[in-house]
Amino acid sequence: MAKVLDLPAIPPFSVSETSSSAQRWDKWTNSLDYYIRASGISDQKQKRAILLHLAGAEVQEIFETLPDTGEDYKTALEKLNAHFNSCKNIAFERHVFRQATQRAGESMDAFVTRLRTLAKTCQFDTSLDEMIRDQVIEKCASNDLLSIARSFELADRQALEIEQKFESSTHLNSIERNRDFQQPRRNSAKREDNNRQKCVCYCCGNEGHRAKDVQCPALDKTCRRCGKSGHFARVCRQKTNKPKQYRENARQLEQSDDDSSENECLFTLTAHNVHHRSDSLHMLEIEHIPVQMLIDSGASVNVLDLETYHRLKARKGVQLMPSTLPVYAYSSTTRLNILGTVSGRVKCNSAEIVAKFVVVHDQHAGCLLGRQTATQLGLLRVGPQVSSINCAVSPHSLRQRYPSVFDGVGKLTNYQQKISINTNIKPVAQPPRRIPFHVRKQVSAKLEELERLDIIEEVRGPTPWVSPLVVVPKSSGEIRVCVDMRQVNTAVIRERYPIPTVEESLQDLNGAAVFSKLDLKWGYHQIELDEQSRELTTFTTHDGLYRYKRLMFGISAAPEIYQHAIQQVLHGLPGVKNISDDIIVFGKDKSEHDRNLHGVLARLQERGLTLNSAKCMFSVSEITFLALIFLPVGFARTPSQSRLFVMPQHPRMLQRFAVFWA
C-alpha cells in the first residue's frame, strides 16, 4: 500500500475574479492533478470528494446546480470543465494576451512562459512561436532586445529577398545557356578560345595553350631535372635524388625563365688584355667542362663570352634561350649586346649548383662569376671575416690551476656590507603568505641547502622586520625562493654608485680580438652582510623564521652595492670590464688576452670569489656580452689596424648598433 504524503492543500478556486475563468480553471485543475498524484489517492469517490473540497464553497454552489454529476471523479470534473469552458471568450482571451507586458523584475524566461500560458486559450490560427515572438518584441522592457529582435527580422527578410533574386538569376542563366546553345557554331568556337586561355600547359606551366602547342616555350627545351626535352623542370614529374640545395637552385632558375624583368643588372666587365690577380681567378666546371672565371662581388649576373658558349654548345648541346634582360657594365648607361642566357650545372670542389649565365656578343670578353653564385659555391664571403684563433687556454687547465675559483659559492674575504636605513621609518612585521602544500617539501629542501651553504640562518627571538616568502616556479620544475622586500625598501637608503653604461664598456673594448666571459655564481650571495643589516632580511616560512647572511635580490640598493664591490675587486687589472656579475676579459691578441685572464682568475681566487663554469667562455674570437655580439675584424693585421665589429643580438636593439674603430 502506497504511503499517503502530508501535503499542503492548494488554494480554492475563485469564481468572482474578473479575469478569464476558463484559463484560471485549467491552471487550477492542473494543480489539483499534481496534488492527487502526489497523495497517492486512486479511489474515484475519494478523488471526487477532494475535488469539491479543495475547489471551495463557490465551486460547490455551482456544482450543486449542474445536472447528472454522477458519483465518480471523472464525471464531476467533466461537468465543471464544461461549465467554465463555456464561459470562454476567444476575443477576450486574445485581448488579454496582447495586453501582457513584461513586469518589473520579471526575467525574459518567466515572461515567455506566461505568454505561452495565456496563448493556450487564444486559439491562434498562425504559428504560436511567431505570436509570442511579436509580443516579446513589442512588450519587453529592454530596448536593446527590441533592437536586436528587429535586426533579426530585417535579416530574415533580406535573406529571403537574396534567395528570390538568386533563384531568378539562376533561372535567367539557364535561359541564356539554352539560347547560347542554339547560337551559330561561331559562338561555340569563341567559347573554346576562352577555355583555351584558362587551360594550363603541363610542359611549361603557363596558361593560354595546351601541351605540345607550337606556342609552348618548352617545346625544344631540355629539363634541368631529368635531362629530357619538351618540358621545364618546374613541371617535371620524374623523381630525383639531387641534394636539396641543387633542387632549390633549379627552382629559382625556373622562376626566372621569364626575362621580362625591368631591373638593371650591374656588373664589372673587364677587357681581356688586362692581367687579373691570380687569387681572383678560379677554375670551375660548367657541365663538366673546365672554365676559368673571374669572381666579382659587385656583379649581379654571371657572364660567358662567345668562345666559352660555343665550347659548351659543341660538347654538351647547351641551348641558348632568348632574353630581354637589360644588362649594363659598371657606371655605364649603354646596354650590352646580349645574345641570350644559358643554364647549367656548376661545380667547384664539393659544391654543385645550377646557375644561369648571360652570353655577351664578344668573342674574348672573358667569363665573370657574380656575387650570388660565388657565395653559393663558397668562393666568396660578403661581410666581416675573422681569422681562427688557436685556443691554448682550456677550461680544464684553468680548473686545475685555480681550483677554488670553480668550487661552490664563494664569499668575498675580509668584507662585510652594511645597508643604511632611515631610522624614522617604523619596522613592519608582515604576516606569512601560505605556501601550497604540494611545494612545501621543495621549499624546505631549498632552505636546507641555503642554510648548509651559509647563505641563510635560522632566527630565534623577536625581530623588528619580517617579510613574506614568495615561491616562484622554474620552467625546469624546480622552484626559486624570493622575499618580498617592498616594505623594507621604504626604509633602505640607496648608495649611489654609478653603474657603467653599455657604451662606456664598449669604448674600452676597441681593438680587442680575443675574449673570455666569466659569470660569478649566485653573484649577490658572495657578499656578506654585517650583523645589523641581517635583521632587515628576516622572512617567514612554514618552517619558521630565517634571515640572510649574504646580500640578496630584492633589496633596492643591491645592484649599486654589488657593482661597486666587484669593481673594487677587479681594480687595477688590465683588459677586464664588469657589469653586475658578468665579467668580460679581452686582449688585442692571444698572448695579451691570456695574461689578462690569468690575472683576473688569480684575483678572484685571492678574494674568495667563485665562478659558474657552465656559463663561462674562454679564449674565443666571437662573444655575446650585454646582448651584443662582439666580432673582431682583421685579426691578422697589426693591433693598431685591428677593429671591433659590434652588432645587436636581438633585432629590437638595432637602434644601438655601432661599429667601433681603434
Do 636 and 538 belong together in one domain?
Answer: yes
Q: Please give the pLDDT value at position 249.
A: 53
* Whether the predicted pLDDT of 661 surpasses 50: no
Query: What digits encode the pLDDT tens for the residues 451-495?
Result: 999 999 999 888 899 999 999 888 878 888 889 999 999 999 988
What Å distances lie between residue 491 and 426, 468, 487, 536, CA to CA?
Answer: 8, 17, 8, 10
Report residue 570 as a C-alpha cell: 677587479
> What pLDDT band is residue 600 in, cutting at 50, 70 and 90?
very high
Q: Please give the pLDDT value at position 331.
A: 67
8-state DSSP, 619? E
Dihedral over Cα of 57, 59, 61, 63: its sign: negative
Q: What is the four-CA torsion angle of 13, 15, 16, 17, rounded to 10 degrees? A: 70
Do 354 and 464 belong together in one domain?
Answer: no
Q: What's the length of the chain?
A: 662
CB 447 within 8 A of CB 546: yes
**Residue 314 to residue 320: CA distance in whole angstroms:** 12
Q: What is the mean pLDDT of the chain?
A: 76
Q: Please give the pLDDT value at position 214.
A: 66
Domain residues for the domain of 635 are: 437-643
Closest CA to 537 of 558, 506, 520, 513: 558
pTM: predicted TM-score of the whole model, two decimal places = 0.41
Q: Which residue has the higher pLDDT, 495 or 660?
A: 495
Q: Please give the pLDDT value at position 632.
A: 56
Q: Which residue has the higher pLDDT, 171 or 24?
A: 24
Which residue type occupies 6? D
* Whether the predicted pLDDT of 635 surpasses 80: no
> What pLDDT band is residue 597 in, cutting at 50, 70 and 90?
very high
Q: Per the domain annotation, does 319 fall within a domain?
A: yes
> What pLDDT band is residue 159 in, cutting at 50, 70 and 90?
low
Q: Which residue has the higher pLDDT, 642 or 237?
A: 237
Do 355 and 479 belong together in one domain?
Answer: no
Query: What digits encode the pLDDT tens for the residues 206-234?
Result: 777 777 676 687 877 778 777 777 888 77
Do 368 and 462 belong together in one domain?
Answer: no
CB 536 within 8 A of CB 575: no
Burial class (CB in 10 A: 0-12, 13-18, 19+), 85: middle
Query: What digits encode the pLDDT tens for the residues 112-134?
Result: 888 887 777 676 766 677 777 77
Mean pLDDT for 506-512 is 75
Report residue 527 as a C-alpha cell: 657578499
CB 325 within 8 A of CB 358: yes
Mean pLDDT for 240-249 is 51
Residue ending a domain, choose from 377, 394, 418: 377
**Residue 107 to residue 359: CA distance in whole angstroms:** 85
Do 372 and 445 belong together in one domain?
Answer: no
Q: Per the domain annotation, does 471 fall within a domain?
A: yes
Q: Please give the pLDDT value at position 273.
A: 38
Residue ending a domain, choose from 335, 360, 377: 377
**Residue 297 to residue 268: CA distance in whole angstroms:** 9
Do 470 and 599 belong together in one domain?
Answer: yes
Do 315 and 442 belong together in one domain?
Answer: no
* Whether the predicted pLDDT of 639 surpasses 60: no
**How far apart, in Å, do the first and last CA atoms of the chain sit?**
109
Do 337 and 464 belong together in one domain?
Answer: no
Looking at residue 468, which CATH number applies to its domain? 3.30.70.270
Do 365 and 503 belong together in one domain?
Answer: no
Looking at residue 335, which CATH number applies to its domain? 2.40.70.10
Q: Per the domain annotation, does 655 fall within a domain?
A: no
Q: Per the domain annotation, does 626 fall within a domain?
A: yes
Query: What digits encode the pLDDT tens for the residues 570-579?
Result: 988 999 988 8
Sequence-separated (6 or more) residues with CB below 8 Å from residue 436: 471
Q: Per the domain annotation, does 173 fall within a domain?
A: no
Do 555 and 631 belong together in one domain?
Answer: yes
Residue ending a domain, choose from 52, 86, 120: 86
Among all chains, which residue has been given the C-alpha cell 640562518? 457
Do 446 and 311 belong together in one domain?
Answer: no
Q: Per the domain annotation, does 396 fall within a domain?
A: no
Q: Per the domain annotation, does 263 fall within a domain?
A: no
Do 468 and 572 belong together in one domain?
Answer: yes
**Residue 151 to residue 157: CA distance in whole angstroms:** 10
Total domains, the chain: 3
Q: Please give the pLDDT value at position 47.
A: 85
Q: Per the domain annotation, does 182 fall within a domain?
A: no
